[in-house]
Each structure stands twice: as C-alpha cells, then as structure tokens.
Amino acid sequence: MFCFQCQETVGCKGCTNGGVCGKKPRTANLQDLLVYASRGLSEVTTRLREEETDVERAVNHLVTDNLFTTITNANFDDEAIIDKIQKTVDTTKKLRSELKNQSGLTEAALWNGDGDWDEKASQVGVLVTENEDIRSLRELITYGLKGMAAYLFHAEAYGQIFPEIERFMQEALAKTRDDSLSVDDLVALTLETGKIGVDAMAALDGANTAAYGNPEITSVPIGVGKNPGILISGHDLHDLEMLLEQTQGTGVDVYTHSEMLPGHYYPAFKKYSNFVGNYGNAWWKQKEEFDTFNGPILFTSNCIVPPKDSCKGRIYTSGASGFPGCKHIPEDENGKKDFSEIIEHAKKCQPPVEIETGEIVGGFAHSQVIALADKIVDAVKSGAIKKFVVMAGCDGRMKSRSYYTEFAEALPKDAVILTAGCAKYRYNKLNLGDIGGIPRVLDAGQCNDSYSLAVIAMKLQEVFGLDDINDLPIIYNIAWYEQKAVIVLLALLSLGVKNIHLGPTLPAFLSPNVTKVLVDNFGIAGITTVEDDMKAFFA
C-alpha cells in the first residue's frame, strides 16, 4: 500500500505498512482499485456524453459513492469495497458496449475484473505516476474530487440531482491518468475542480436549507438527559431527520457527535423534544466517548476510528461508511432507511454518562450572519471588530494541533473567529466572550458550510465596496485533515482568496514544485508557532 491522502500520513510522507487511521494494507489497496475502476467507468461515461448518449442516474451515483467510500476514515470494510468494485466493472463493461467509438480506451476502462484483484490493486495506486509533479497534481485533483463526491452524495440524498457536477467529476477523474496533459493543464484542472467544488457546496447548502430551513443562532446543550440515547455522527442530515422521525415516542433520545453538531442549528429539527444535545468532541476522541455514551452509535459518513471489540456491537453505519463487523443500514429504493434495530438496541442500554455540562452556541451560516450584517458592519466601522479569522477545517489527533487552541486564546480581543468543520472543537468551549453581543466564535456548521464563510466574505466585500476579496480584514488559518478540506481549499482558491495558512503541516502529496506554484500564485503558507504567527498576522 501507499497512501498519503490525509494530514496524519506517516512521517508526513506516506503510509506504507497500514495507516495511522487504522486502514489495513489490503483495504488501502482495494480502495486504490476502486478508484481505478471508477476512473475506467468515468472514461466510458465521458465518452458516452461526447457521443450524446445519456448516462443514467444510478451510474453517476455509483461513481460518486465510490469516491466517497475511499475518503479517509469512511469505509474500512473490504467486502463492501469488493462489491463496489464488482458493480463498477460490470457497469463499465455494459456501457462500453454502447460506445460507438471503442478505440484508444485506457487499461482502466478496458478492465473486466479479470486477474487476481489483490495483485492488480497493488499495481494501480498513486505511485504508478512516476513524475512527482504530475503525480502531485493528479492526486490533488483526485482528493478534491473525493471531497466533492462526499458533498454531492449528501446533496443528492433529497432526490435532486446535479448532472453538471457529476459530468465534471467523471471527466476530471478520467483526466487524472491522461498522459497527454501537461503540468499547466493539470494546474488549470485543479482550479476548475475548485470552481465546481463551490457549486457542490452550494448544492448541498441549497439542499439542506430547502429541507430544514436556514441555520439560526442556537445554544446546544452538552450535558445529558435521563433516557437511553443514540449518538449520530458524520455529515448526513437526511439520516438525522429519519432517525429523529423514527425515534418519536420510543423513549430513546438522540445526541449528535462531532460533525453532526450543526444539525441542532436547523429550525426543522427543533420540534423534536428527544433531540437532546451534542455529546463529546471531534472524531478522534470517539473511543473514550463511545465507552461512556453507553448507547448505539450511527455513523453516516467519516470519521470512524476503528472501534474496540467491546464497542463494535454498538456501532452502525449508513451511506458510504462501513466497518467490518458493524451493521450497515441500507437504503431502500425510495431512499428510506429503517433504523428500528438501532432504536431497539438503544432501549436495552444505559443512559449516557455525563462528561461535561453547559452549552455551545452556533448557527452562524450565511443567512444568520447576513441578518446580523448591520450590527457586524457597525462593529467593524467603529473599530470594535478589527479582524475576522477563518479557522475552519478539520480536527485531528496530532499533539501539534494544540496550536489552534493556543492561537484562539492568544487572538486580540477585537478579533472574531469564523469557523466550520470539526476544527472548532479546539476552541469552541473556551468561552472567548463576545463583542457587543456578537460571539467571538461564529460557527457556520459542518466543513461543507465553509461555503457559508465564502458567502459571508463576498457579502462583506460588497457592503464595504471593495474590489478585491483580499482587501477585507480577514485572515485564513485553516486546519486540514482529510479530503473534504482539500475541496474546501481548492474552492477558496477558485474564489480568489489568497494568503491562506494551512496546517498543522502542509500536505505530503504536494511536491516542492507544486507547493511553489501555490505559494507564488496564491500565497499559501504553513503555520509556525503561535507567537510568531500572531506577530506575522497582526503586524
């Protein structure tokens, strides 16, 4: 195996002997094979579209699901991955026969699933591309597409489809092994990926808010109630809705974990009296938190930490997520999921043990912030707010991430943090106060709600009559971990945002030359120490 797609990769180089995330070498190889098969299918669908043949919804969904399956910490289940490879190969074979022009297809598009899969898998990974700059750009694009696929998957859970985004994703994926593309072509494709990433985040924002209303200021309790509970994690709000519906009148409470916290901010979920609060912190603390939670846990996406054997029986997965030995709840032909087994399971469990008390405040997505625009603009004009600091992104287990807590604490009192994603758990319980009633940590929501932060920045640019978004008093100090953060980063670059600081370390998949392109054109930089960064940012 060779995997370097996330921030925690071994030695900031690559995992070769099992992942820090717990991914076994065989799983890593099978994921590579799934990406390979998806690329082959994408080449065929791209050609079909060129020949003006429509591509069915199920085929588009398959590619999206496959890419989502391979993001960090989403799916560790070899059997599930093997099924997806088989389905992909069968679909490619069928669609290939519909092509008018079948010449010049790559090996991936021609692969019929023959040969030994484990052997094949070890020959189709990242290192197949020898030139390190081409490899770097190909992987940067692929990881952006994986993040985009995750967002699109959730957006399409409501029945609406986004054919233009699907078309782009497949065309771009096919191009990641097109030897005729130069470094410049790939740089252009990287930016295009960011541009379509904005569309994917907007699609998800539109789908979520159409279904559940616009997030609004909300205090979310972090203590516990007296009933047994189900803990729901991940990013799929549609699953949250189904779980809340199905738990009504059962005596079972529902708690959010990690990236599901922003579920509380949506008006539509406030009517459920058993929707008690948020339990715990970011994904990487789940082992201990699941012990004390006592009840079953539903993962609707990443990030899964391989559970202890004693906890496995309480873990369920849905959507693209999976873990061997944990029950996967499938979706029926109408997109419905039956969570009754989890509810019955919860009834037999003890209520959660309280690990903290109090509440956290969030719900500052674009609509809520724009509703407060007058107040915010006045605060900026009067000098009460001097800077906004975007600290969105992911949290992770590395010790060095205490930087983000210390950075938040060290910020001048006239700076406001704009956040989204699970990065917020590093500082959202610090009690940083407010500025004239505006909290100093404005949480827009999940990582995909970084879209809201971009909308807010564009709104401020308009209100202040600025020509360039970079003239706003905003600093970007973003923490990344997995591939959704990659699409968020590419999306911000495509919107013209410059001077983003990315940490705790720069991606291992960026070669020195590709890093130079990002530094020269976009001012991308890493982080140093809190002290030095404070001096540099507030010079």
Nearer of residues 23 and 401 to ligand SF4, judged by Cβ: 23
- Non-local (6+) Cβ contacts of 473 within 8 A are 380, 386, 387, 388
Nearer of residues 25 and 229 to ligand SF4, judged by Cβ: 25
Alpha-carbon distances, residue 484 vs 146, 471, 489 (angstroms):
7, 27, 9
Residue 425's closest CA among 261, 292, 275, 229? 261
CB of 513 to ligand SF4, least distance (A): 21
- Residue 311 marked as a ligand binder: no
- Residue 132 marked as a ligand binder: no
Q: How many CA atoms lie within 13 A of 473 on its CB side?
A: 18
CB of 301 to ligand SF3, least distance (A): 8
Among 3, 85, 148, 415, binds ligand SF4 (CB under 6 A): 3
Site string for ligand SF4, 53-82 (x = CB under 6 A): -------------------x----------
Among 38, 247, 446, 494, binds ligand SF3 (CB under 6 A): 446
What letter represents residue 412's amino acid?
P
Give 525's DSSP letter.
Answer: B
CB of 392 to ligand SF3, least distance (A): 9
Nearer of residues 123 and 402 to ligand SF3, judged by Cβ: 402
Is 394 a binding residue for ligand SF4 by CB under 6 A? The answer is no
Residue 230's closest CA among 203, 204, 257, 206? 257
Report the partner that residue 278 touches, choosing among ligand SF3, ligand SF4, none (CB closer than 5 to 8 A by kind): none
- Residue 333 marked as a ligand binder: no
CA distance 87 to 107: 17
Among 11, 12, 13, 15, binds ligand SF4 (CB under 6 A): 15
3-state secondary structure of 20: coil
Report the partner that residue 323 touches, choosing among ligand SF4, ligand SF3, none (CB closer than 5 to 8 A by kind): none
- Residue 87 marked as a ligand binder: no
- Residue 447 marked as a ligand binder: yes
Give 117's DSSP letter.
Answer: H
Using the structure block, give the residue that is written with the tokens 């289940």: 77
Residue 214's closest CA among 271, 259, 269, 266? 266
SS (H, E, C) 422-435: HHHHHCCCCCCCEE
CB atoms within 10 A of CB 340: 12
- Residue 482 marked as a ligand binder: yes
Is 8 a binding residue for ligand SF4 by CB under 6 A? The answer is yes
- Residue 8 marked as a ligand binder: no
Which residues are paired to 362 by β-bridges? 218
Is 485 a binding residue for ligand SF3 by CB under 6 A? The answer is yes
Interface with ligand SF3 (CB under 6 A), residue total 14
Interface with ligand SF4 (CB under 6 A), residue total 13
Report the partner that residue 485 touches, choosing among ligand SF3, ligand SF4, none (CB closer than 5 to 8 A by kind): ligand SF3
CB of 196 to ligand SF4, least distance (A): 23
CB atoms within 10 A of CB 27: 23
Structure tokens at 33: 């094979």
- Residue 349 marked as a ligand binder: no
Are 129 and 5 in contact, with CB atoms under 8 Å apart? no
Report the partner that residue 286 touches, choosing among ligand SF3, ligand SF4, none (CB closer than 5 to 8 A by kind): none
Give 338's DSSP letter.
Answer: -
Is 303 a binding residue for ligand SF3 by CB under 6 A? The answer is yes
Candidate segments 16-24, 276-284, 311-319, 332-340, binder of ligand SF4 by CB under 6 A: 16-24
Candidate segments 12-20, 293-301, 337-345, 407-415, binder of ligand SF4 by CB under 6 A: 12-20
The number of helix segments (H) and strand segments (E) in the chain equals 19, 15
Alpha-carbon distances, residue 312 vs 77, 185, 295, 302 (angstroms):
13, 46, 12, 16
447 upstream amide cis, omega within 30 of 0: no
Is 258 a binding residue for ligand SF3 by CB under 6 A? The answer is yes
Is 443 a binding residue for ligand SF3 by CB under 6 A? The answer is no
Structure tokens at 174: 């096919």
- Residue 366 marked as a ligand binder: no
Structure tokens at 27: 């799983």
- Residue 484 marked as a ligand binder: yes
CA distance 194 to 518: 13
Report the partner that residue 259 touches, choosing among ligand SF4, ligand SF3, none (CB closer than 5 to 8 A by kind): ligand SF3
Among 259, 289, 443, 449, binds ligand SF3 (CB under 6 A): 259
Report the partner that residue 283 touches, choosing among ligand SF3, ligand SF4, none (CB closer than 5 to 8 A by kind): ligand SF3
Q: How many CA atoms lie within 13 A of 178 on its CB side?
A: 20
Is 319 a binding residue for ligand SF3 by CB under 6 A? The answer is no
CB atoms within 10 A of CB 47: 22
Is 20 a binding residue for ligand SF4 by CB under 6 A? The answer is yes
Please state the residue numbers annotated as binding site for hybrid [4Fe-2O-2S] cluster: 235, 259, 303, 394, 422, 447, 482, 484
Please state the residue numbers annotated as binding site for [4Fe-4S] cluster: 3, 6, 15, 21
Positions in the binding site for ligand SF4 (CB under 6 A): 3-6, 8-9, 15, 19-21, 23, 28, 72
Positions in the binding site for ligand SF3 (CB under 6 A): 258-259, 283, 302-303, 394, 421-422, 446-447, 481-482, 484-485
